[in-house]
Structure 1
Amino acid sequence: MRRISYLICLLFILPAFSHADEALTAFSKLNNAGLIVLDSNGRTIRADHADRPLIPASTTKLATAWLALMHWGEEHRFRTRFYWDEPSRVLWVKGSGDPYLVSEELARIARSLKQKGLRQVKAIGLDNSLFQAGLVLPGTGTTNNPYDAVPTATAANFNTIAIKKINGKVVSAEPQTPLTPYAKSLGRSINSGELRVNTGRNPSNAENYFAELMAAFLRVQGIEVDPRIVFGKVPNQPVFYTHTNSKTLGEIVRTMLKYSTNFVANQLILMLSSETYQRPANTADVQRYMEESLSRQFAWENFTFEDGAGLSRNNRLSPQQLTELLQAFRPWKHLLPEIEPGVYAKTGTLTGVSSLAGYLVKRGEWQPFAIVMNENVPYQLRNRIARELSLR
């Protein structure tokens, strides 16, 4: 009887074992991929073409997050300064690149400006000199999808707009966000339903939208605001109001890593490069800043970064370099999302690119790993590989 029970158990168990490594077997047949797993002490457990430079896609955001956290610290809060030109009655905004000026923050700003005594504004002035004029980073602005939003020194709602059309009327799709003239013009292109789009490839669209939205929130507070928008340098006078974002950098990075927000990643890297080189942020400085900083820290060679989000198909990083980065990222590992039980990681997806890098948590130990596949593979293959590795 015992023997029969044993055989029955084998019938159920053997199929499970026969399929246990199917994802890793599929990986072994790829021609342009790499994988590595370290133990909690940094020793290599498994490596397959781990030193091969590959397109990392959005795992690039791990580098951007690490650079930002190292530079500013997890508790840092971004600030935006406002200046009041009394003679011309122009409210100037000095663009700081804050990536998280969402509607709720703009509403707080408007309330604070009213408390400061603001009553009538003849124009909204924008100083966007922190970023190079007309700046478009590689991979951005090619579609109207939210993930494609271009970066700007003054930006509202990640340079995206949510609109919907009801019975032929365009309205805001967010109760917290007023409808502006630019948003309304975008809504005319949809027949019905709800849509979220970016503000377009031209950065001036996003800048104008920011000014329109700022004016709308000021009007909600009873402040009279003319529709005029001016561009230039802030006047040489004291700061009228400084807004401190309610989100810490750690909170911003956590959301960026969870939702893979390209806009936030690119804002951060542009701000870092501008602060480092003390000039308007530009594409050349972004590449120089990332490559010099990472080479200095890790002594890396044979890698390339053109943007902070991972949209550029010219970016190159090996799985081994990703795990070296993850070793340094340990103080902030809690900012990564749990994508599978015991797997905390950042995904990366482009056409023909699938990547995953983070930590396998086993018995309380966090083991860095990286999987990068530069081939067309099933969408969930990277997760299945991670699950199989976590069971080993």
Structure 2
Amino acid sequence: MLAGLVLSCLASFTASAATLESELAKRPASGLLLLNAAEQPLVSNQAERLLIPASTTKLVTGYLALDHWGRNYRFKTDFRVVRRASDGTVVLWVKGYGDPFLVSEELQTIASRLASALGDRGVSHLDAIYLDAGYFQPGLVLPGTTDTLNPYDAHPSALAANFNTLFLKSDDGEIVSAESQTPLTRLAVKIGHETDLSEGRFNLGPDVRLGQRYFAELLGAFLKRQGVTVADDIEWHPMVEAKGSGLRELLSYRHLNSLTLGEMVAPMMRYSTNFIANQLALKLAADAYGEPATADKVKQLLNSRLKRRFGWRDFYLEDGAGLSRENRLSARQLVDVLERFRPWKDLLPEVEPDVYAKTGTLIGVSALAGYIKNDQAWSPFALLVNQKVPFHYRNQVALQLKQRLADEAAAQLSQRPESYGSVN
């Protein structure tokens, strides 16, 4: 009976291998690598071939960010309230550093804290909001970004609310907010009337100042709810020290986002949010090379840091989200990243039972990279396909890889010396 069990396991292992390998042979523009529990290649097919990685690039960006800052890092935004000596005007000054999660709930928290501090100082009115968004280059457009209104095409910005998008709907011709936590602002109404929609989320376009104005208006709306009136004057000025500038500082507040970096990376992976990925890449570039962050600095950061960390020679990345069709990585290189990503593997979504991975999709590109959990082992794998395949093809391959791991484990178990003996 034992011999029959061993032969059955080996037959299953061989059959699954033949099925998978014959399927891969039909996809010449592809690369695949799976490591087993011993971190040895179990399945390998053109693993060194350079291909377009699409959004599996976010694994690289997430790794670099987590490795650089740690999962408990929190993005900052600086707020100062000053009074001009010349005319007594009270100004709220905001400097952004690329926080990707300045969502309505976060702005509500900020407004509450600012209003409380202003109340302690006897201030109940702001004459203007000044914005310093110079941490990112003005007019920045990263490779692969298009000019559609789709949320996934939202442009990065040092200051942006709700991922630089609006969520509106038309109610009998009246523009209203489509989310209860977000007040309607004057700019939102104007854009809503100019946009043909019944309901939808759309990005604010390549004019980043439009998105930054919306940020200021939304912050002002939350302040008004806290009893602080805010005038409509919004201007752009680099933040300066009050001393010697004719300004008297009334309040200084550095806000740290309520979400940690790990709590931001998890939804980036689950929903493949390009805006978050690009904000992370730009912030890394600004930290490395100084502000303002630029597209060239992002490209320089990605290629130099990966070359230094992994010793790679042949690869190319020019954006952190994976939108560019010029990006090139191999399945082997993605598995290298996954080997380093292990401390944060819990941030990846479960796309199939015991398969935790990041997807990647462009026209003619389908990718999946992550881990297959087998008992206590997490085996990294990467699949890159640069030709048209059915939508669920990558998941089907992942399930076959999962079976390969199970077959190998069963075969190894059945051949252990302690397994020999009588079997009833």
Where on the TM-score scale, by shorter chain, does this alignment land: which range? over 0.9
Asked if the contact 1:141–1:201 (Cα under 8 Å) also holds between the matched residues in 2, the reply is no
Asked if the contact 1:165–1:171 (Cα under 8 Å) also holds between the matched residues in 2, the reply is yes
Whole-angstrom CA distance in 2 between matches of 1:229 and 1:23: 60
Whole-angstrom CA distance in 2 between matches of 1:36 and 1:30: 14
- Alpha-carbon shift at residue 23 of structure 1 (Å): 6.3
For residue 35 of structure 1, what is the aligned residue in structure 2? 32
For residue 273 of structure 1, what is the aligned residue in structure 2? 285
For residue 324 of structure 2, what is the aligned residue in structure 1? 312
Query: Which entry has the higher C-alpha Rg, 1 or 2?
Result: 2
The answer to whether residue 159 in structure 2 is matched with residue 147 in structure 1 is no
- Alpha-carbon shift at residue 207 of structure 1 (Å): 1.1
CA displacement 1:269-317 (0-9 Å, x = unmatched): 1001101112210000000001111110100111111110000111110
The answer to whether residue 200 in structure 2 is matched with residue 195 in structure 1 is yes
Whole-angstrom CA distance in 2 between matches of 1:18 and 1:50: 22
Whole-angstrom CA distance in 2 between matches of 1:80 and 1:41: 45
> 75-84 or 101-110, which moves further after superposition?
75-84
For residue 236 of structure 1, what is the aligned residue in structure 2? 241
For residue 209 of structure 1, what is the aligned residue in structure 2? 214
- Alpha-carbon shift at residue 338 of structure 1 (Å): 0.6
Whole-angstrom CA distance in 1 between matches of 2:270 and 2:20: 24
* Secondary structure, aligned partner of 1:281: coil
For residue 61 of structure 1, what is the aligned residue in structure 2? 58
- Alpha-carbon shift at residue 146 of structure 1 (Å): 0.4
- Alpha-carbon shift at residue 224 of structure 1 (Å): 1.1
- Alpha-carbon shift at residue 26 of structure 1 (Å): 3.3
Whole-angstrom CA distance in 1 between matches of 2:195 and 2:265: 33
Gaps of at least 5 residues in structure 2 are 1-10, 243-248, 405-424
Asked if the contact 2:55–2:361 (Cα under 8 Å) also holds between the matched residues in 1, the reply is yes
The answer to whether residue 169 in structure 2 is matched with residue 175 in structure 1 is no
- Alpha-carbon shift at residue 160 of structure 1 (Å): 0.7
The alpha-carbon distance between structure 1 residues 167 and 315, as it changes in their structure 2 partners (threshold 3 A), is: same
The answer to whether residue 314 in structure 2 is matched with residue 302 in structure 1 is yes
> 291-300 or 132-141, which moves further after superposition?
132-141
> 353-362 or 37-46, which moves further after superposition?
37-46
Letter of the aligned partner of 2:263 in structure 1?
A: E
- Alpha-carbon shift at residue 22 of structure 1 (Å): 5.6
Letter of the aligned partner of 2:342 in structure 1?
A: R
Asked if the contact 1:149–1:199 (Cα under 8 Å) also holds between the matched residues in 2, the reply is yes
Letter of the aligned partner of 2:224 in structure 1?
A: R
Q: 1:249 aligns with which of 261, 264, 285?
A: 261
Gaps of at least 5 residues in structure 1 are 1-13
* Secondary structure, aligned partner of 1:86: strand
Letter of the aligned partner of 1:98 in structure 2?
A: D
Asked if the contact 2:139–2:206 (Cα under 8 Å) also holds between the matched residues in 1, the reply is no
The answer to whether residue 83 in structure 2 is matched with residue 93 in structure 1 is no
The answer to whether residue 143 in structure 2 is matched with residue 138 in structure 1 is yes
For residue 75 of structure 1, what is the aligned residue in structure 2? 72
Whole-angstrom CA distance in 1 between matches of 2:231 and 2:384: 52
Superposition CA RMSD, Å: 1.8
For residue 384 of structure 2, what is the aligned residue in structure 1? 372
Letter of the aligned partner of 2:259 in structure 1?
A: K
For residue 360 of structure 1, what is the aligned residue in structure 2? 372
- Alpha-carbon shift at residue 181 of structure 1 (Å): 2.0
Q: 1:185 aligns with which of 190, 195, 198?
A: 190
Letter of the aligned partner of 1:296 in structure 2?
A: R
For residue 407 of structure 2, what is the aligned residue in structure 1? none
Asked if the contact 1:38–1:46 (Cα under 8 Å) also holds between the matched residues in 2, the reply is yes
The alpha-carbon distance between structure 1 residues 319 and 341, as it changes in their structure 2 partners (threshold 3 A), is: same
For residue 113 of structure 2, what is the aligned residue in structure 1? 112
Whole-angstrom CA distance in 1 between matches of 2:387 and 2:337: 23
For residue 7 of structure 1, what is the aligned residue in structure 2? none
* Secondary structure, aligned partner of 2:344: helix
The alpha-carbon distance between structure 1 residues 352 and 66, as it changes in their structure 2 partners (threshold 3 A), is: same
For residue 128 of structure 2, what is the aligned residue in structure 1? 123
Whole-angstrom CA distance in 1 between matches of 2:224 and 2:260: 28
Whole-angstrom CA distance in 1 between matches of 2:312 and 2:341: 16
Whole-angstrom CA distance in 1 between matches of 2:328 and 2:91: 46
Give TM-score scaled by structure 1 length: 0.93
Q: 2:302 aligns with which of 277, 290, 306?
A: 290
Whole-angstrom CA distance in 2 between matches of 1:299 and 1:26: 32
CA displacement 1:97-140 (0-9 Å, x = unmatched): 00001000000111101111141111111101100111111122
Letter of the aligned partner of 1:268 in structure 2?
A: L
Whole-angstrom CA distance in 2 between matches of 1:338 and 1:44: 23
Letter of the aligned partner of 1:318 in structure 2?
A: S
Number of residues of Structure 1 aligned to a counterpart in Structure 2: 377
- Alpha-carbon shift at residue 151 of structure 1 (Å): 0.2
Asked if the contact 1:24–1:385 (Cα under 8 Å) also holds between the matched residues in 2, the reply is no
Asked if the contact 1:165–1:191 (Cα under 8 Å) also holds between the matched residues in 2, the reply is no
Asked if the contact 2:24–2:45 (Cα under 8 Å) also holds between the matched residues in 1, the reply is no
- Alpha-carbon shift at residue 25 of structure 1 (Å): 3.5
Give TM-score scaled by structure 2 length: 0.86
Asked if the contact 2:16–2:400 (Cα under 8 Å) also holds between the matched residues in 1, the reply is no
* Secondary structure, aligned partner of 1:297: helix
